[in-house]
């Protein structure tokens, strides 16, 4: 099976259209979008408009082309629109929301996971402690979460004590254990927005590492065929690594900067090509 993996498009319509053009030209059977799909740093209602006006039409193009589209919201995509996003995906036979779900295509099992370990920034809709032994990073903004689901959205709710709030919720480690297990790890592809720690896939511009120990431990334990990540846009540029092996598992993090970046891969032969254009 031949797929295209892309992540962290953040509402860039030019990149979305280019990815579709590439998918058609390269004869891929499925495009996998690893999260952070909507525009960020905009008026909140624009994420709603992006789903209803752009993504809905864009999914129609995949349907017409006979190309599957596996996708999920990311940490910069407001959780208030999750039901809207899910219903939009379900309107198509070739589009799947894979957040905390398993989808089987071409004999391969794709499992999505869009929780991320806590970071310094304000929006906490999809943030969790990494493990119950983890520490919180220094916070740079006011912690907030979506208050209500669309259309009963009441804005962003400030959290007076984010640390206590987070400690009361399941950790990344806990959430990973709740995922539906593939029948055969050798045919399993995990799409985990958060990269694992200490593999060179999580390196920020300042050289710090922001990956998840829980994700790394999970991959060591489960040993799937492939793990697809994103989140730290600049990591491949800084570390020079976009593909690493962890036991029997190949982990891929293509990165995403100004130019569209993606990976074309054959899931049978595991041949891969990272393209920046």
> Which residues, 6+ apart, have CB-to-CB distance to 83 below 8 Å?
149, 150
Q: Are strands 243-246 and 249-252 parallel, antiparallel or unpaired?
A: antiparallel
Residue-level pLDDT at 154: 84
- Inter-residue contact 70 to 108 (CB < 8 Å): no
- Inter-residue contact 192 to 116 (CB < 8 Å): no
Residue-level pLDDT at 121: 93
Instruction: Choose among 257, 262, 259: nearest CA to 275.
Output: 262
Residue-level pLDDT at 51: 97
Share of the chain above pLDDT 90, in %: 92
Residue 47 has pLDDT above 80, yes or no: yes
Residue-level pLDDT at 240: 97
Question: pLDDT class for 164, splitting at 50, 70, 90?
Answer: very high
Q: How far apart are CA 276 and CA 258, in angstroms?
A: 9
Find the angle CA(47)-CA(52)-CA(57) to the nearest 5 degrees. 125
> Which residues, 6+ apart, have CB-to-CB distance to 79 below 8 Å?
73, 125, 126, 145, 146
The phi and psi torsions of 103 (rounded to 5 degrees) equal -130, 135
- For domain 2-276, give the fold: Purple Acid Phosphatase; chain A, domain 2 (3.60.21)
Residue-level pLDDT at 43: 76
- Which pLDDT tens digit goes with each residue over 220-271? 999 999 999 999 999 999 999 999 999 999 999 999 999 999 999 999 999 9
- Which pLDDT tens digit goes with each residue over 101-155? 999 999 999 999 999 999 999 999 999 999 998 889 999 989 999 998 888 888 8
Instruction: Choose among 177, 84, 75: nearest CA to 131.
Output: 177
Residue-level pLDDT at 141: 86
Residue 44 has pLDDT above 80, yes or no: no
Residue-level pLDDT at 100: 98
> Which residues, 6+ apart, have CB-to-CB distance to 133 below 8 Å?
none
Instruction: Choose among 83, 105, 109: nearest CA to 94.
Output: 105
Residue-level pLDDT at 155: 87
- Which pLDDT tens digit goes with each residue over 198-228? 999 999 999 999 999 999 999 999 999 999 9
Residue-level pLDDT at 205: 96
Q: How far apart are CA 71 and CA 127, in angstroms?
A: 19
- 61-75 exposure pattern, b = at least 16 Cβ within 10 A, e = fewer: bbbeeebbbbbbbbb
Mean pLDDT confidence for 24-38: 97
DSSP secondary structure code for residue 11 in this structure? T
Name the average pLDDT for the chain: 96
Q: How far apart are CA 103 and CA 109, in angstroms?
A: 6
If DSSP codes are grouped into helix, strand and coil, which group holds residue 20? helix
- Inter-residue contact 175 to 128 (CB < 8 Å): yes
């Amino acid at each position: 099976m031949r797929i295209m993996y892309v992540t962290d498009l953040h509402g860039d319509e030019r990149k979305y259209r280019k990815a579709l053009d590439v998918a058609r030209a390269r004869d891929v059977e499925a495009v996998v979008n690893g999260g952070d799909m909507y525009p960020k740093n905009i008026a909140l209602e624009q994420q709603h408009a992006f789903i209803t006006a752009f993504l809905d039409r864009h999914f129609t193009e995949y349907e017409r082309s006979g190309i599957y589209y596996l996708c999920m919201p990311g940490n910069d995509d407001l959780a208030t629109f999750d039901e809207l996003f899910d219903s939009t995906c379900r309107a198509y036979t070739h589009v799947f929301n894979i957040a905390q779900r398993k989808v089987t295509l071409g004999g391969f099992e794709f499992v999505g996971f869009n929780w991320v370990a806590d970071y310094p920034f304000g929006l906490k809709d999809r943030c969790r402690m990494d493990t119950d032994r983890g520490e919180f990073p220094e916070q740079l903004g006011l912690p907030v979460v979506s208050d209500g689901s669309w259309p009963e959205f009441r804005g962003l709710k400030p959290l007076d004590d984010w640390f206590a709030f987070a400690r009361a919720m399941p950790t990344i480690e806990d959430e990973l254990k709740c995922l539906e297990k593939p029948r055969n790890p050798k045919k399993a592809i995990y799409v985990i927005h958060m990269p694992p720690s200490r593999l060179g896939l999580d390196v920020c511009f300042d050289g710090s590492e922001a990956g998840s120990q829980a994700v790394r431990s999970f991959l060591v334990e489960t040993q799937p065929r492939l793990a697809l990540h994103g989140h730290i846009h600049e990591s491949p540029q800084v570390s020079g690594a976009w593909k690493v092996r962890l036991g029997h598992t190949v982990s891929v993090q293509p990165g995403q900067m100004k130019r569209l970046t993606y990976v074309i891969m054959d899931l049978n032969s595991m041949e891969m090509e990272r393209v920046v254009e």
